[in-house]
Structure 1
């Protein structure tokens, strides 16, 4: 995940990694929201639980 991300869907297992990646690439604090769409985790393809934007 090298490009800037406007949003990252993530499962519970990868939420900390996703927050770190978001901050590193966007240089801004993210919002952590419960995912309301049926999306897959950006890291493992499990069903996402959170949306980071």
Structure 2
């Protein structure tokens, strides 16, 4: 749960800084955060099944 909160906080910070960062850096950062959230969701779903 803490990882999810940290990811959402980081996403909020990145969205606030998007104006100051180049588009390519913003897209890479958003992709990394998105993958992190997907991995977290898959791990949580798998943990609930077992």
TM bucket normalised to smaller: 0.3 to 0.5
Q: Give 1 or 2: higher strand fraction.
A: 1
Find the structure with the greater CA-based Rg.
2
TM norm structure 1? 0.32
